[in-house]
Chain A
Amino acid sequence: MPMTVEKAEVTLPSEREVRVTRSFKAPRALVFKAYTETDLVRRWMLGPPGWSMPVCEMDVRVGGGYRWRWRSDEDGTEFGFSGKFREVQPPSRLVHTEAYEPATVGGSYPANEAIVTTLFAEDAGVTTVTTLIDFGSKEARDAAVATGMTDGMEQSYQLLDRLLTERTSGSA
């Protein structure tokens, strides 16, 4: 992973998957820690502006479970994810299942479990985190992406151009 990705990049590597890539100016042991210690996780994994994370429980070991829940400060609506850790290899790799927890928003979110693989690669003090979410089916993937929880939507039309350029130069 030689490239530094300064803004989160979302690509669709297959019909069932979404890949999110982002670089951080920190050693990967620290980034891994920020992904796996609950008191750190709940300080950043808050979703869109105006949401808090009242539940953040994680038993980070193979077979251990986790539960995340978010609440809108404005109207109290909630949603969450839960699952189990399948692979825990500090500081380079995490694999966990992810099921949507019934809630007041995201009615169209797929009911089946996704498998989330998070890779941490360090190069010259910069850690690039690649998150690959396998939704198990195209329908589930599309529904999950459509359940964007943000209201601060940026009308950027540049992303797909970038995706296309990146993909075509990669496959040529």
Chain B
Amino acid sequence: MAIETAASARLDATFLALADPTRRAILARLALGEATVTELAAPFEMSQPAISKHLKVLERAGLVSAGQDAQRRPRRIEGKPLAEVSVWLERYRSVWEANFQRLDRLLEELQRSESPRRRARSRRPR
């Protein structure tokens, strides 16, 4: 469980960055390709400074970087922190999914054993 200690500070920053719906929307937009602050601000009812503030949080978390073009400074998404969070969540998810697959089989078995009785009951005249 090295991930707990080594990456926990980074995960904190990532989670903080992801806790806001505007920032998640910005990331979703950047997942489609790089964009300038003006382009990012367009779909939101928000000023460019407000968007820039959100971008700073995303940049601090390493989720977004700024391009070299000094005029446009296009932002792009950085995959690594996202991958860490998703690996972390995936591990948690797989524990639940293992349980749920056993529950699938159990429910199937219970329904098979219950159905003859149910059929007999419904056939009975009222």
- CB atoms of B95 and A158 under 8 A apart: no
Given contacts A31-B107, A47-B95, A164-B31, contact A159 B19 (CB under 8 A): no
Contact of A47 among B15, B90, B99, B105 (CB under 8 A): B99
- CB atoms of B95 and A150 under 8 A apart: yes
Contact of A171 among B4, B19, B25 (CB under 8 A): B25
- CB atoms of A26 and B4 under 8 A apart: no
Chain B 32-56 residues near chain A, CB threshold 8 A: none
- CB atoms of B4 and A12 under 8 A apart: no
Q: Which chain B residue shows the least CB distance to A27? A: B111
- CB atoms of A7 and B19 under 8 A apart: no
In the complex the two chains form, what is the Cα distance from A51 to B83 in whole Å?
Answer: 28
- Interface stretch (choices A37-45, A84-92, A95-103, A110-118): A37-45
Q: Which chain B residue shows the least CB distance to A155? A: B87
- CB atoms of A154 and B103 under 8 A apart: no
Chain B CB within 8 A of A62 CB: no
Place the interface of chain B in its size category.
Answer: 35 or more
Given contacts A24-B107, A30-B110, A172-B25, contact A147 B83 (CB under 8 A): no
- CB atoms of A15 and B19 under 8 A apart: yes
In the complex the two chains form, what is the Cα distance from A164 to B94 in whole Å?
Answer: 19
Q: B99: which A residues are within 8 A, CB to CB?
A: 44-47
In the complex the two chains form, what is the Cα distance from A160 to B15 in whole Å?
Answer: 12
- CB atoms of A153 and B87 under 8 A apart: yes
Given contacts A25-B107, A26-B111, contact A164 B27 (CB under 8 A): yes
Give B58 Cβ to nearest chain A Cβ, in Å. Answer: 12
- CB atoms of B83 and A157 under 8 A apart: yes
Mask, A22-34, CB within 8 Å of B = 1, is 1011100011011
Mask, B1-25, CB within 8 Å of A = 1, is 1011000100110010011010011
Chain B CB within 8 A of A3 CB: no
Given contacts A46-B99, A168-B25, A168-B28, contact A159 B93 (CB under 8 A): yes
- CB atoms of B94 and A150 under 8 A apart: yes
- CB atoms of B91 and A158 under 8 A apart: no
Give A170 Cβ to nearest chain B Cβ, in Å. Answer: 9
- CB atoms of B95 and A146 under 8 A apart: no
Q: Supply 12 A–B pairs (Cβ within 8 Å), ascending by A.
A: A10-B96, A15-B19, A20-B96, A22-B96, A30-B110, A44-B105, A49-B98, A154-B91, A154-B94, A156-B86, A168-B25, A171-B24
- A interface with B by C-beta (< 8 Å): 7-10, 12, 14-15, 18, 20, 22, 24-26, 30-31, 33-34, 40, 43-49, 108, 138, 142-143, 145-150, 152-161, 163-165, 167-168, 171-172
Q: Which 5 A-B pairs have the closest CB atoms?
A: A148-B91, A160-B86, A44-B102, A26-B107, A168-B28
